[in-house]
Structure 1
Amino acid sequence: MKLFVHPSSQNKHTLQSALRCGLSRLACTVVLLMGAPLAWADNYKVNVDAPKEVKTILDTYLDIVRYRTREDIRDEYLDYLVDQTPEQVASLLATMGYFDVRTEVSEGSKNSSVKDAEKPNITVKVTLGQRVVVDSAKLEVQGLIKEQDPKRVGTLEFDWSLQEDEPFTQNEWSLSKTLLLRKIQSEAYAAARFVDTQAFIEPEKKTAKLSAKLDSGPYFTLGEIEATGLRRYPVKVVNNVNVIKVGEAYNRNKLLNLQKRLQDLPYFSSVLVDVGQNPDEAELAPIKVQVVELPTQNFNGLVGYGTDAGFRTNVQYSHYNVFKRGWIFDSRYDWEQKQRTGTLSLSTPQNANHYQWSVVGKTELDRTVDPNTNTAQIGLHYSRKLEHTAISYDVDYFNSKLGDLRSHATVFGVSWAKNKVDDPSFPRRGYAIEASVGGALKALASSATFLRAYGRFRYFIPFKKDDSLLLRAEAGAVVTKDTLYNVPSSLLFYAGGSSSIRGYAYQSIGSTYRNSNGSSILPGQFLATASAEYTHWFNKSWGAAVFYDVGTVSNDLTNFGLYHGAGAGVRWRSPVGPIHFDLAYGYPRKKLAPHISIGILF
């Protein structure tokens, strides 16, 4: 970049000061390091009397302020700092568009306290002149983009952040060029660069004339992946994750998405995806993937607490290279006060269509409800998970025991999910939807013929600067002509808890069954819940929420009661994800209930 300053006699000293700033700071440092101390000024007091808009930068970067607590400042050093202060002020404020600045450095009376009686009391008074404003800002875009995408050229010129009559600052000038270059390089023109930039300052007129020439360079297309760092795993574990087609235009976001998808695999501790900016390799530029592998085996454990199931702990063992082909074996046992769950799975790497096969086995004891439930499950899944969507085709066999009731089913189903949110961990804008449908036939190892459907929808609406409104709805149904409890209980529905209707315990809302021994809460045939929650954030980490939940579980669509929950809570954006502390009043239960949950939504 070239900076041209048109001098005047009034501003000559100021402009020369700006050019000498680097040398003066170096000289000050050298003086401080030379020789043994002779006479000491001790540390001193200093006050910067300047307008609010410039005081912070002066307090942060002026040497006379930065060195005030040092006790090795001799008298001659302090005199040197005082002499250099006007030049440093001029240099610093020139970057903010102030080229006509008056600085007075004076030493006031000694401090009144005995302790500080000998310490100099220095005042730096700064008076600002008129600020330089942008008189004109011209952008010239040249190169292939003018022929291939003239509409985009017009957009770049229109979106350039510098506007006439705005204050000129070095930071804004540099930022505008950085953002513009990043914008054009993000798609197709990876080697774009500035060939010339100029800022012509006229201190007498208090104006700045800015100009920039931007060369788009060649049109980049993407080629095959070149992976480095693989030692244990076959290259297909990288290639099969890639959804970019050979010959596509370069797109930085697509490369970042590929990097994220690779990072989400259990094979690698770090992943870097990039394309070189060599103009000679613009056609079918290779996608360079650098990986660092994780150990093939992993063992970990976790201790936690939630109001739904109480204290919990789990242990997990994983092997990521079974048969030395990148197959993933995972075993996990979760112990909770009211639940026990054991899981085993074996999964293949993704194939060229981004699908993978999985065999899953699971056993669960649930004591959050009365009567208790025991469920065993084994299944074969064929699934695909992309950036915003996921789909799975499943065959699962369930064997359940609900109190004295036994049931089993071979369920053929499909599940689908899509999310489009601004931040997967802490969303404020967007939506998430998931749905599943499945069924079983008595003739195929099932105790009932039935069809099951379930769906959940969440919508995030931003308010003000950081606030948000979350709207949630879910519904489920099991349709059968057989006895309902011949359907495995894990496929029926409960409500209540931190992610359902607050004010009620986890899975405490269901279908009431009465007999001579009293009543029990059983899972129901139909489910419907809805929720609205508004969150206000006080800072980046802490917020408060108010909410209202409503819903029901029933075996009869014509005769059901509604359950309500309303309350408030605290929100914490913790390093492990969002943590919610809620207190809700349940009606018609007419009691308060606390809820604590940790949730990463996607």
Structure 2
Amino acid sequence: MVTPFICLKPDARFLINNVSVSIDREILDDEHAHFIEKLRKRTNYKLASTYCITRTISQQTQAMKDYLAKKGYVNAQIELITTINQENYTVDLQFKIKIGNQRRFIFFGNNFFSTKELIEQCATFGRSADLVPLSLIVEEITERYRSKGFWQVAIEIQAEGQRCFFLINEGIRAQLSAINFDGVHCTTPEWLRKKFFKKNKKECSVDLDLIKQRLSEIIKWYNENGFGLAEIMQQEFVSTNMPHDYQLNVMINEGVQALVKQVHIDQFEQLEKADLFQAINRGNAVPLSQTLLNDQKKWLLNFFQQRGYLSVQVKPEIIAENGLIKIVWHVSNYDQQITFGKTVVLGATTLPFSLLQKTINYKQGEAWNKDQVRQSFLKLRELEVFETIYAHGDTAPEDDKEKAVLLKLIHDDPYEIRIRGGFQQVSKNFAFKSGTTYKIGGSLLIKNPFNYADMLRVDIDVTRFYSNFSGIYRRPWFLGLPLNLILKGYNNTYMQPVMLGLAKPLYQARQQGGMIGVVYSSDKKELSLNAGVELIETNHLSIELARAINFEPVLIDKLVPYGYFEPTIFMDCLDDKLNPRSGSLTVLTGKGMIPFDKNGVPFFKFLLEEAIFVPLWRTVLGFHIRFGYIFSRQFENIMPIDRFYLGGENSLRGYAPDLAPPLGCFVDDNEKSYLVPQGGRFVFNGNIELRFPIIQRLWGAIFEDVGILLSRAPVSIIDGNALLGSTGFGLRYQTPIGPLRFDIGWKWRKREPEEHLYSWFITLGYAF
């Protein structure tokens, strides 16, 4: 068994350079020369200087066939010859057209089928379409009409040289007013009609192809419910008293339902304790179906193959006992267990082999398991230093019990520069420009600088409201343990951008510091512990504004040093990180801050977040809660940037960012008052959102957000005024990098006259 895992990195894209069209005729008359030239121009216009995409070329080839068919060459064949130029990344295309005798089909009176569809029907005769008697073509077209309910269709033909005229009288299409089932006992005829013919309620015209498909689905349903011999005995259209109206009478022979009462695994009785088999053996009889057999077979094969028995075979034996079914599984070819052999490294990697041994997820001598090979592939990819990773088991002789692993590694470029840009919308109303900011940034990556799969990364991001600079060094297998060492230095400047009625920012906060951390990662969880030193300063605010935001004025323009530690638990059980439909996401973090200055206060910040997603048919129901608390004696001495806030695209979507109460009142020099956010030491936020598809990549959502934000201990939760809420809806357009999201939310009630009743946001990514 070979199990390859390949990581591909796209190279340069190929462009179509020259496009030529030729025909297999020695002498071209004016007519042929004209339409060949027209084909060449059309094809050049569609393909020349575009990317060489197989789907686009196929579409253009079909368009050429359609054009030739209209000209009377329904049996035309097109051969495509491609010439690839590796040096300049271009492709030359040559279309060679083979045509037979010309025979133009002209249709009159066709309304249901288009002329193109009827010509395609004629083309089903292939290269002999120009030789087939017209009577046979008429029979084919007539049968096509009759299958769609045109049972009175009449077609006349006239031939004039190379032209064939079809005069079609479609007649009135038969209508289906009722579907009756006979012989149905395990369910009701009404249920069958609702389940399998509900799509025909609005369109009651007869369609034999659709009816055949629905009846096949009914038999498939019977088979999946244990009626393995169910069949359609008879189907008949009966005319009613209304003209062109019919009823469909269907006779079904259900047969006898086969129920499985016991599952036995020969020689491996202990496996019968698995949930898949135990439920049946406890007396919960289930219908015998191919799906049931496939599920049990898949489970057994997976069980043995994960333990190295790659050649194992399992076969079911069906035994009927007293009207019930017993399944006996026979296991063979399990006597030879395959184990992991040596790891053979190919390519030009310079990494120490000892490092690769630590990274891969298997050891020599362990039972062969393809999932462990896959996990090894993923761990190597997480190092982000390889351009190509190719891992698979070697083809071992039958008598060899060890399978070597071939590992091909090709290093990525040692230097990489990434540039990003865009805009961010934080507007609280429909004055779009008031909350819009540019967003530009870039990253410099130096990969494997010390030949230990390590990485040095420098990030810079700038907007109107903040600027972030950080340098990070990451090294795997710290102290020989499965831990990543993280060294980070940063310098961040943040301006509180929101103030009702005022365009300028509230204040500016600066964070400077460095930290050292260790991270342990597994398939679904990540544990980290960081410790470091941080200098925090809050400036550009007056004493009056400091009091309005409940901040100690003595700390204005004061650079306060802190030592901190920060443990984090992250558990990702989502089925899809960009567009989750099921699973959960948990984040638990704490941050302890110890000041080195008498004006600062020690505190511990705790935060728990949980998101759960439940699929409901085609929709997704999402739940999200966030709970946090800051343990500290003096709230006023906590820097504003370290407090909790509510409001914005990811919490309470009826409020502008950070503008959920409690709010302070600030009066400027012109005696004008403004509401300013104070933040809190206690936060609770709950969100529920129903996401549903609208059309193709466009989804809609309705949501309900609630929250509580308090600057004191949460004893005031009993006060109903502390509960905040918003209700709204939104649109999500799915992109390869996540959904482009628009949300608009309305507050449950306004607290202050200056507040806006609603807020709206345009951003990338889900709210949770």
Matching residue's letter, 2:724: Y
Give the SS at the match of 1:239.
helix
Give the SS at the match of 1:322.
coil
Partner residue of 2:588 out of 435, 444, 454: 435
Tell me the equivalent position of 1:460.
613
1:549 equivalent in alignment to 2:705 = yes
Matching residue's letter, 2:573: K
CA-CA distance at 1:288 after TM superposition: 3.5
Partner residue of 2:420 out of 273, 297, 302: 302
CA contact 2:515–2:533 (8 Å) conserved in 1: yes
CA contact 1:475–1:529 (8 Å) conserved in 2: yes
- What do you get for the CA RMSD once the two structures are aligned? 5.2
CA-CA distance at 1:408 after TM superposition: 2.7
1:305-350: CA deviations, max 9, x gaps? 3324733121111101112333211011111222111111111123
1:473 equivalent in alignment to 2:629 = no
CA contact 1:425–1:601 (8 Å) conserved in 2: no
Tell me the equivalent position of 2:438.
311
Q: Are residues 401 and 228 of structure 1, via their aligned partners in 2, closer, same or farther at CA, if it must alter by over 3 Å?
A: same
Pairing 1:71-220 to 2, within 5 Å after superposition:
75-76=130-131, 108-110=155-157, 118=165, 146=267, 151=272, 183=302, 187-188=306-307, 191-192=310-311, 215-217=332-334, 218-220=336-338
When structure 1 is superposed on structure 2, of 184-193 and 563-572 the one drifting more is: 184-193
1:500 equivalent in alignment to 2:656 = no
Q: What residue ranges of structure 1 are gaps of 5+ in the alignment?
A: 1-27, 47-58, 90-105, 138-143, 198-210
| Counterpart-to-counterpart distance in 1, 2:437 and 2:520 | 33
Tell me the equivalent position of 2:455.
328
Q: Are residues 273 and 478 of structure 1, via their aligned partners in 2, closer, same or farther at CA, if it must alter by over 3 Å?
A: same
| TM-score, normalised by the number of residues in structure 1 | 0.70
Partner residue of 1:394 out of 530, 533, 538: 530
Matching residue's letter, 2:377: Q
Give the SS at the match of 2:651.
coil
Partner residue of 2:360 out of 224, 242, 246: 242
| Counterpart-to-counterpart distance in 2, 1:65 and 1:185 | 51
| Counterpart-to-counterpart distance in 2, 1:305 and 1:340 | 14
Tell me the equivalent position of 1:19.
none
Pairing 1:443-458 to 2, within 5 Å after superposition:
447-458=600-611
| Counterpart-to-counterpart distance in 1, 2:597 and 2:372 | 44
| TM-score, normalised by the number of residues in structure 2 | 0.56
Give the SS at the match of 1:421.
coil
| Counterpart-to-counterpart distance in 2, 1:176 and 1:82 | 48
1:431-457: CA deviations, max 9, x gaps? 111111232334699932222211111
Q: Are residues 156 and 332 of structure 1, via their aligned partners in 2, closer, same or farther at CA, if it must alter by over 3 Å?
A: same
Partner residue of 1:575 out of 730, 736, 739: 736
CA-CA distance at 1:221 after TM superposition: 3.7
Tell me the equivalent position of 1:595.
761
CA contact 2:301–2:313 (8 Å) conserved in 1: no
1:408 equivalent in alignment to 2:553 = no
When structure 1 is superposed on structure 2, of 434-443 and 572-581 the one drifting more is: 434-443
Give the SS at the match of 1:192.
coil
CA-CA distance at 1:117 after TM superposition: 5.5
| Counterpart-to-counterpart distance in 1, 2:308 and 2:122 | 44
| Counterpart-to-counterpart distance in 1, 2:297 and 2:104 | 44
Q: Are residues 223 and 84 of structure 1, via their aligned partners in 2, closer, same or farther at CA, if it must alter by over 3 Å?
A: farther
1:358 equivalent in alignment to 2:486 = yes
Greater RCO structure (CA 8 Å; 6+ sep): 1
| Counterpart-to-counterpart distance in 2, 1:237 and 1:582 | 47
CA contact 2:627–2:684 (8 Å) conserved in 1: yes
CA contact 1:306–1:595 (8 Å) conserved in 2: no
Q: Are residues 243 and 601 of structure 1, via their aligned partners in 2, closer, same or farther at CA, if it must alter by over 3 Å?
A: farther
Give the SS at the match of 1:261.
helix
CA-CA distance at 1:497 after TM superposition: 1.2
When structure 1 is superposed on structure 2, of 526-535 and 238-247 the one drifting more is: 238-247
Give the SS at the match of 2:377.
helix
Tell me the equivalent position of 1:23.
none
Give the SS at the match of 1:258.
helix
Give the SS at the match of 1:75.
coil
When structure 1 is superposed on structure 2, of 571-580 and 312-321 the one drifting more is: 571-580
Tell me the equivalent position of 1:490.
641
| Counterpart-to-counterpart distance in 2, 1:475 and 1:243 | 36
| Counterpart-to-counterpart distance in 1, 2:681 and 2:122 | 71
Partner residue of 1:290 out of 385, 408, 433: 408
CA contact 1:43–1:69 (8 Å) conserved in 2: no
Give the SS at the match of 2:307.
coil
1:253-310: CA deviations, max 9, x gaps? 4433332333233112343333346474874534443334321111011122332473
Q: How many residues are treated as equivalent by the alignment? A: 514
| Counterpart-to-counterpart distance in 1, 2:386 and 2:698 | 33
Tell me the equivalent position of 1:55.
none
When structure 1 is superposed on structure 2, of 341-350 and 588-597 the one drifting more is: 588-597
When structure 1 is superposed on structure 2, of 443-452 and 311-320 the one drifting more is: 443-452
1:117-150: CA deviations, max 9, x gaps? 5369899x9998998986699xxxxxx9955975
Q: Are residues 444 and 36 of structure 1, via their aligned partners in 2, closer, same or farther at CA, if it must alter by over 3 Å?
A: closer
Q: Are residues 466 and 116 of structure 1, via their aligned partners in 2, closer, same or farther at CA, if it must alter by over 3 Å?
A: farther
CA-CA distance at 1:228 after TM superposition: 2.8
1:341 equivalent in alignment to 2:468 = yes
Matching residue's letter, 2:485: W
Matching residue's letter, 1:297: Y
| Counterpart-to-counterpart distance in 1, 2:266 and 2:399 | 17
CA-CA distance at 1:234 after TM superposition: 3.5
Partner residue of 1:378 out of 514, 527, 530: 514
- Structure with higher Rg: it is 2
CA contact 1:550–1:564 (8 Å) conserved in 2: yes
Give the SS at the match of 1:378.
strand
Q: What residue ranges of structure 2 are gaps of 5+ in the alignment?
A: 1-73, 80-96, 109-115, 145-152, 171-207, 231-257, 259-264, 281-285, 317-327, 427-435, 498-505, 540-555
